[in-house]
DNA sequence: TCTGGGGTCCTTCAGCTC
DNA sequence: TCTGGAGCTGAAGGACCC
């Protein structure tokens, strides 16, 4: 038993519901609780603090420091000032003028995440990642080998701490939904077991916003119906919920409010869409600038598709106006593509069809949906198509990028003012054959 | 106060075919 | 031949999550 297990084992009984009985796991209140929800504490900030121990104990936030940045992660010291994720950076700085701001380093977070997920997969193959910093685990098959779920959970917490240098919180329950609530309840650096026979007692006093799928809008609807707690929702006829929220959400909330969650932990099959979007530093009304941004995003999306071996059939553009209203437009292609030039042609057509004249935009995005394996994707062959086309040209760009870095080869339209080929010539776009 | 970026899922509606 | 309904698909938008 490592030191971290002993120190954190003391926290195992925190909360008024948990009954797991300590690091030795002698109690069996975790019977019938095979689902673990593991959530890293202030993940991005914790990753940064590994290499900046001098910042420990200080209010630290991670996020873009541009004029329109928002907080991506905040340490618990920063949260004491009222700072939370998704808050505009300007407001965070007003709340805590001394806050330390660090730019995000997603490569680092991905690396730490991979290490953490590897620990999970050591325990069970049934790991369902929700994001870089959290996952569900079904440990039913590991109990014989590793002990009861609460002991497994404590072991995971110890390993994450010892091997990755960050802390995490684990919720243990009979269903995914309750396990997730349990981890939220026990944060930070905690462990909470909600025994199967205490689920309703645990759930019903919580506010409706605790239910999965209840955000700002749904909460408003429920409050208008006079429903403030999960117990209120549970004691409302399903028909009423369905009328107010639609059949799927109404039934879903009714089930969750009684702790019914039939979803099992599932290893994800793969992504369903890949996209990129970008907020301009200042609103833009020049169609040429917007088309250039669509080109840049299309190239980026295509490069990601190829890197992951996907092609997609539906191209979606997203346009956000200066007043923050947002529209999307999409088109389904005859055959899937992973070629930036094709994605851009569709994105540009969709944008041009909007006929926006000089409307001020704050964001544009490009997304490709309907993904399938690029090798299995049917390709539309044209009679006059050359043997080697844009796909091969872009694959060559991928190879150059891998060797010399991002942006080494890119469409001439994306070159900045004053950039040229270094020999005094004009920029040259890839021109296969 | 002034709102990022990457996603998923659900609902509604229109158009098409049978 | 016309009409209405069912079922499917694509498009668009909204809500939600981290």
The strand B neighbours among A residues 377-406, by Cβ under 7 Å, are none
* Residue A254 three-state SS: helix
The yes-or-no verdict on residue A403 having pLDDT over 60 is yes
pLDDT band at A424 (very low <50, low <70, confident <90, very high): very low
Q: Which class for A417: exposed (0-12), middle (13-18), buried (19 or more C-beta within 10 A)?
A: exposed
The Cα A324–Cα A151 span in angstroms is 48
Average pLDDT estimate for A126-151: 95
User: Would you say residue A3 has pLDDT above 70?
Assistant: no
A322 in contact with nucleic chain B (CB within 7 A): no
pLDDT confidence of residue A377: 67
pLDDT of A417 strictly over 70: no
Q: Is the pLDDT of residue A426 over 50?
A: no
Instruction: Name which residue leads in pLDDT, A206 or A430.
Output: A206
Report DSSP letters for A181-246, one per residue. HHHHHH-SS-EEE--GGGHHHHHTTSBGGGSTT--HHHHHHHHHTT--BHHHHHTS-HHHHHHHH-
**Through-space separation of residue A277 CA and nucleotide B11 C1' in angstroms:** 24
Q: Model's pTM, two decimal places?
A: 0.87
Residue A249 CA distance to nucleotide B14 C1' (Å): 24
Q: Tokens 């084992």 appear where?
A: A9
* pLDDT tens for each residue of A252-303: 899 999 999 988 998 887 888 999 999 998 999 999 999 999 999 999 999 9
Q: Which nucleotides of B are covered by protein (CB under 7 A)?
A: 1-12
CA closest to B4 C1', residue: A70
Is the pLDDT confidence value at A4 over 60? no
Angle between helix axes A106-123 and A43-51 (nearest 10 degrees) is: 110
The confidence band for A387, taking pLDDT boundaries of 50, 70 and 90, is: low
User: What is the structure's pLDDT at A402?
Assistant: 73
Query: Is the CB atom of residue A312 positioned under 7 angstroms from any atom of strand B?
Result: no
Mean local confidence (pLDDT), A22-44: 77
Of A124 and A413, the one with more pLDDT? A124
**Which residue, A163, A112, A143, A184, is CA-closest to A4?**
A163
Q: Is the pLDDT of residue A362 over 80?
A: yes
Question: Which tops the pLDDT comparison, A323 or A167?
Answer: A167
**Over residues A16-23, mean pLDDT:** 42
Which residues get their CB within 7 angstroms of nucleic chain C?
A: A 86, 130-131, 133-134, 180, 212-219, 314, 326-332, 350
Q: Is the pLDDT of residue A431 over 60?
A: no
Pick out the nucleotide with least CA–C1' distance to A63.
Answer: B4
Interval A139-155 mean pLDDT: 96
Check if the beta carbon of residue A206 is closer than 8 Å to that of residue A228: no
Q: Is there a catalytic annotation at residue A134? A: yes
- Active-site pick, A48, A128, A134, A394: A134
**Does at least one atom of strand B sit less than 7 Å from the CB of A363?**
yes
Q: Is the pLDDT of residue A345 over 60?
A: yes
Average pLDDT over residues A344-363: 90
Nearest 5°: phi and psi at A78? -70, -35
Q: Which two tokens stand for residue A283?
A: 């609103």
Pairing mode, if any, of strands A100-102 and A60-63?
parallel
Q: State pLDDT tens for residues A81-135.
A: 999 999 999 999 999 999 999 999 999 999 999 999 999 999 999 999 999 999 9
Whether the link from the prior residue into A386 is cis, omega within 30° of 0, is: no
**Over pLDDT 90: what percentage of chain A?**
59
Protein CA A373 to sugar C1' B17 (Å)? 30
Residue A301 has a CB neighbour count (10 Å cut-off) of: 26
Phi, psi of A73 (to 5 degrees): -155, 150
Q: Strand C: which nucleotides have any atom within 7 A of a protein Cβ?
A: 10-18
More confident residue, A425 or A354: A354
Q: How high is the pLDDT of residue A379?
A: 63
A432 CA → B2 C1’, Å? 46
A138-174 CB burial, b ≥16 within 10 A, e <16: bbeebbeebbbbbbbbbbbbbbbbeebebbbbbbbbb
Q: What is the mean pLDDT of residues A338-342?
A: 92
The answer to whether strand B lies under 7 Å from the CB of residue A187 is no
DSSP class of residue A375? G
What is the spatial distance between Cα A218 and Cα A224, in angstroms, rounded to a whole number? Answer: 10
> Residue A9: pLDDT above 60?
no
**Residue owning tokens 């905040």:** A74
Q: Which of A31, A4, A10 is nearest to A191 (CA)?
A: A10
pLDDT at A380: 58
Which pLDDT value is given to residue A430? 43
Task: Give the number of other Cβ atoms within 10 Å of residue A284's Cβ.
Answer: 19
- Please list the residues that pair with A262 across neighbouring strands: none
Among A136-145, A244-253, A306-315, A371-380, the range with the most confident prediction by mean pLDDT is A136-145
Instruction: Round the CA-based radius of gyration of chain A to a whole number and report it.
Output: 25
């Amino acid at each position: 038993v490592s030191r971290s297990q002993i120190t954190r084992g003391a926290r195992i009984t925190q909360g008024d519901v948990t009954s797991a009985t300590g690091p030795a796991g002698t109690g069996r209140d975790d019977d019938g609780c095979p689902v673990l929800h593991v959530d890293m504490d202030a993940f991005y900030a914790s990753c940064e603090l590994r290499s900046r121990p001098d910042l420990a104990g200080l209010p630290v936030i991670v996020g873009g420091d541009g004029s329109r940045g928002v907080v991506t992660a905040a340490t618990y010291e920063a949260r004491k000032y009222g700072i939370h994720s998704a808050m505009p950076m300007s407001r965070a700085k007003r709340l805590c003028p001394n806050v330390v701001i660090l730019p995000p380093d997603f490569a680092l977070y991905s690396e730490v995440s991979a290490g953490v997920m590897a620990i999970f997969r050591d325990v069970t193959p049934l790991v369902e990642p929700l994001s870089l910093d959290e996952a569900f685990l079904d440990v039913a098959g590991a109990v014989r080998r590793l002990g009861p779920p609460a002991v497994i959970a404590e072991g995971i917490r110890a390993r994450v701490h010892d091997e990755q240098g960050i802390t995490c919180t684990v919720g243990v329950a009979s269903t995914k939904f309750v396990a997730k609530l349990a981890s939220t309840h026990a944060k930070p650096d905690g462990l909470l077991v909600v025994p199967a026979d205490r689920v309703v007692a645990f759930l019903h006093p919580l506010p409706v916003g605790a239910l999965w799928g209840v955000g700002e809008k749904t909460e408003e609807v429920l409050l208008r119906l006079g429903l403030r707690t999960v117990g209120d929702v549970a004691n409302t006829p399903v028909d009423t919920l369905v009328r107010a929220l639609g059949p799927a959400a109404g039934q879903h909330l009714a089930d969750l409010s009684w702790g019914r969650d039939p979803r099992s932990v599932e290893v994800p099959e793969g992504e369903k869409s890949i996209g990129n979007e970008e907020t301009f530093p200042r609103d833009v009304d020049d169609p040429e600038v917007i088309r250039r941004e669509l080109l840049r995003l299309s190239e980026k999306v295509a490069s990601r598709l190829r890197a992951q071996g996907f092609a997609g059939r539906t191209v979606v553009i997203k346009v956000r106006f200066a007043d923050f209203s947002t529209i999307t437009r999409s088109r389904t292609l005859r055959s899937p593509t992973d070629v930036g030039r094709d994605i851009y042609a569709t994105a540009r057509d969709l944008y041009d069809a909007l006929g926006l004249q000089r409307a001020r935009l704050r964001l544009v995005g490009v997304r490709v949906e309907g993904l399938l394996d690029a090798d299995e994707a049917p390709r539309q062959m044209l009679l006059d198509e050359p043997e080697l086309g844009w796909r091969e040209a872009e694959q060559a760009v991928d190879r150059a990028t891998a060797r010399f870095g991002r942006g080494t080869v890119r469409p001439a339209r994306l070159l900045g003012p004053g950039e040229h080929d270094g020999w005094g010539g004009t920029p040259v776009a890839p021109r296969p054959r």
